[in-house]
Amino acid sequence: MIKNVKNTNNRITGLYLVIVFIAFGVFAKIVKVQQFNVAINTSSQPRYFTVEAPRGNIIADDGALLAISMPLYDVRLDLSVMNKTLFNSGVIELSDLLAQLFKDKTPAEYELFLRNAKQAKKNKYILLQNKVTHNELNALKKMPILELGQNKGGLIAEQRPNREKPFGLLAQRTVGVLRGVNPVGIERAYNQTLSGVDGIHLKRKIAKGIWVPQDAEGNRLPRAGNNVVTTINTDMQDVAEKALENTLISNNADWGCVVLMEVETGEVKVIANLKKQADGSVRENFNYAMAKHVSPGSTFKLASVIAGLEDGFFKVEDSVRTYGGKFFFYDRVMMDSKIGVYDNITIKNAFINSSNVGISRIISDNYKSNPTAFTDRIYKMGLSTPLELELPFPNNLKSPIPNKGGWSGVTLPWMSIGYEMQLTPIHMLTFYNAIANQGKMVKPIFTSAISSDGKIIKKHTTQVINPAICSEATIDAVIPLLIGVVEEGTAKNIRTNNYLIAGKTGTTVINFNNRAEGEEKEYQASFAGFFPADNPRYSCIVVINNPRENGHYGGSVAAPIFKELADKVYASDISIHKALQQSDLVVSLPKVKQGHVEDANNVLANFDINRIVTHEPWMVASTTKTEVSLEARKIERDLRNGNMPDLRGMGIQDAIYLLESYGLVVEITGSGSVQSQSISKGNKFIKGSLIKLELA
């Protein structure tokens, strides 16, 4: 009995120990799960992700888009939510539509892809297509199965940021690029304005590294950034870039830039920067116009002449001796591009013909005892003060100071013709623009407004740097010199009867101070000026660096680009044209093509031209000094009888209308009016005959 009790107690104790051991194991397991799996539990919880806001657009002055945020989407499918019956009934049509939309697989390949994905164990986040456009996404949303949305159709679209430039490389450096290293241009300067406000979206983790968007009240849509309206004109910019590219290639030059600016406002309409690559291609990869500091060369002579006029040392009618274009300043020789041509000439002619000796002598003779007076006068014109433009670039202006930092006896004469100093092309243009603007210097600007949803929320106004860089009398004295350069001087090759151009050529030896013995000279050609000279509306500068072929002078290399751009601007901006004087009006009557009487009569009536009009539908015209006679032509009678009439001189629209009306097939080459026809006058034809018309 006692033994049985003892055995029972032992069994109870053993059972108790087993229970305690099991309980301890369970407790330990709970602790382990809580302590070691808490990160897993937490990481599996839905959480909010940032949705990047679309950047605002960068817009040209005519509303064209220079940079735009065009969203792209990564599209995935959650096939687990697709009803099996629905899937089987719609998969063939869906496959056909996907093949038509993306054109990367056949319908059969898409069907196989979808069926395999549907049967896969992990079928909740299957990639369908990367970089889907907004239009393509809209098309997907209308397709069978997918039209049911995410919860039933399994369509998951995840937006990714995407910046596009509809005009490609046009004004690329100015429009800019926003990147982690060295962002540039308007994208950088107006980053905060363009950025907008990011949104948030709840996502749920379904597998390692895979988060699926979820509907939630806390989701917040991103707010797009504001738009920046630039001053850039796409048509003018295109003309400038093409002309610049052609010149870099034809003259085998290193790089070049063109800037066109509105005189009164300072709005930059064109800023082109191109570099010729080793493989012969031309690209834009540096903003030479704003960041490249170079010796301006002879375009600087304008500032030198203005300084002397302002200080009363000379008048443009005064004479200066050039010694045949060769003169020594101490041990260094100053030379003109043409030797032995001039001796005593007026300062006006020295400027028009870009005499280095003439300009340097009038400055050296009058300022050598007090060079500070010259540099002070130059610097008061704003040529040593950084412009501090809205697009930031480092300032490396080189401005010599008398008796400091390498100043010597030859600094003054060489400075007077555009050496010793270093300026950016846009800085030099700002100076020329001030001359065109009657002495008022304004800051170049690249943006005119900030807009949002089609409304202007902030306007950018013209900023005046200096209300008067010199006197009106001096302005009136130097503008004829600038006109003379184009009318009879170093840029007479760009003279035009349509409008007046004022400007100055520049030709600089860029390796002047560091050229090894026997090394070829390297040149920089430039032209700066404005037009129309009698009522300036636009100023422009062109710089071509190191042209090796087909000339190197500013007049022959840079000035033609100025002229090509100016012609385009003048043709497109009717507001700068002169009103015609009565004596300029054309008094001869127009030549009228053969054709339909009603059309010709209406045109002549609009211009109130005296005319005699036939009652026949087709005519041939004759013109006298006082009237136009529209005489009957029996052209349809010939066609009705199957005889080919003489079509020469007829407008193409009338010719095609007549011939096709009588069953002929017309083939044309060229443009203009009919000059020849493959079926001669009087020859028979049948319906369906082919007739070839050559136009000219």
Is 181 a member of any domain? no
Cα 573 → chain centroid: 19
What pLDDT, on a 0 to 100 scale, did the predictor assign at position 165?
81
Domain check: are 543 and 594 in the same one? no
Mark whether 566 and 590 lie in a shared domain.
no
Q: What are phi and psi of 115, to 5 degrees?
A: -65, -45
Select the more confidently predicted residue: 302 or 36: 302
Highest mean pLDDT among 123-137, 264-278, 515-529: 264-278
The number of domains in the chain is: 5
Residue 567 maps to a domain: yes
Q: What is the pLDDT of residue 17?
A: 59
Place of tokens 């009087």: 682
The yes-or-no verdict on residue 481 having pLDDT over 70 is yes
Say whether both 251 and 138 belong to one domain: no
192 is a domain residue = no
User: pLDDT tens across 368-385, in order?
Assistant: 999 999 999 999 999 989
Residue 415 tokens read as 């400075």
Burial of 436 (0-12, 13-18, 19+ CB in 10 A): buried
User: Which residues in 573-596 are b (16+ Cβ under 10 Å) and which e?
Assistant: eeeeeeeeeeeeeeeebeebbbbb
Look at residue 605 and tell me whether its pLDDT is greater than 90.
no
* 600 and 452 in a common domain: no
Point out which residues pair with 332 in neighbouring strands: 329
Instruction: List pLDDT tens digits, range 314-366.
Output: 999 999 999 999 999 999 999 998 898 888 999 999 999 999 999 999 999 99
The amino acid at 63: G
pLDDT at 579: 55
pLDDT bucket at 665, cuts 50 / 70 / 90 = confident
Q: Which of 124-128, 390-394, 517-521 has the highest mean pLDDT?
A: 124-128
Rounded Cα distance between 368 and 313, Å, is 13
- What distances in angstroms separate CA 560 from CA 243, 491, 532, 552, 613, one per listed residue? 9, 9, 16, 12, 48
**For residue 1, is pLDDT > 50?**
no
Instruction: Say if residue 546 is in the same domain as residue 674.
Output: no
What's residue 196's pLDDT? Answer: 82
- Whether residues 325 and 447 share a domain: the answer is yes
- Beta-carbon count within 10 A of 258 CB: 32
Cα–Cα distance measured from residue 568 to residue 227, given in angstroms and rounded to the nearest whole number: 28
Q: Among 99, 125, 130, which Cα is nearest to 112's?
A: 99
- Assess if residue 185 is contained within a domain: no
* pLDDT of the residue at 262: 98
Which residues face 573 on adjacent strands? Answer: none
pLDDT the model gives residue 476: 97
Highest mean pLDDT among 13-17, 275-279, 486-490, 607-611 belongs to: 486-490
Residue 161 domain-assigned?
A: yes
Task: Grade residue 453 by pLDDT with cuts at 50, 70 and 90.
Answer: confident
Same domain? For 444 and 506 the reply is yes
CA–CA separation, 497 and 501 (whole Å): 10
At residue 483, the pLDDT reads 98
| Rounded Cα–Cα distance for residues 259 and 399 (Å) | 23
> 223-253 pLDDT, tens per residue?
888 999 999 999 999 999 999 999 999 999 9
CB atoms within 10 A of CB 632: 14
For residue range 398-449, list pLDDT tens digits in order: 888 898 878 999 999 999 999 999 999 999 999 999 999 999 999 999 999 9
In the listed set 548, 576, 604, which residue is the last one of a domain according to the structure? 576
pLDDT of 5: 45
Give me the chain's average pLDDT, please: 86
Mean pLDDT, rounded, for 383-399: 86
What is the three-state SS of 343-409? CEEEHHHHHHCCCHHHHHHHHHHHHCCCHHHHHHHHHHHHHCCCCCCCCCCCCCCECCCCCCCCCCC
Q: How far apart are CA 330 and CA 319, in angstroms?
A: 23
Average pLDDT over residues 658-668: 81
User: Which range is least confidently modeled, 3-12, 127-136, 654-663?
Assistant: 3-12
Q: Does residue 308 sit in the same domain as residue 326?
A: yes
351 within a domain of the structure (yes/no): yes
Distance CA 227, CA 447 (A): 11
660 pLDDT band (50/70/90 cuts)?
Answer: confident
Q: Is the pLDDT of residue 659 over 50?
A: yes
Q: What percent of the chain has pLDDT over 70?
A: 89
Mean pLDDT of 135-140: 91
Question: Could you give the CA distance from residue 503 to residue 494 in angstroms, rounded to a whole number?
Answer: 11
Structure tokens belonging to residue 131: 């970089």
Q: Give the CATH number for residue 68.
A: 3.90.1310
49 pLDDT band, cuts 50/70/90, is: confident
The position carrying tokens 């060489």 is 414
Closest CA to 107 of 93, 120, 87: 93
> The domain spanning residue 505 has which CATH number?
3.40.710.10
**Residue 615: predicted pLDDT:** 76
Residues 686 and 608 in one domain: no
**Distance, CA of 391 to CA of 174 (rounded, Å):** 8
Dig out the tokens for 182 from the structure. Answer: 């060295």
Query: Do 680 and 554 reside in the same domain of the chain?
Result: no
Residue 196 lies in a domain: no
pLDDT of residue 37: 41
Segments forming the whole domain that contains residue 27:
2-43
Q: pLDDT tens for residues 196-207?
A: 888 888 888 776
> For 102-116, 131-145, 586-600, which range has the lowest pLDDT when averaged over its residues?
586-600
Query: Are residues 648 and 622 part of one domain?
Result: no
CA 374 vs CA 332, 361, 363, 366, 377: distances in Å: 21, 13, 8, 9, 5
Same domain? For 344 and 259 the reply is yes
Tokens read off for 686: 């049948």
Mean pLDDT along residues 3-28: 56
Residue 275 belongs to some domain of the structure? yes
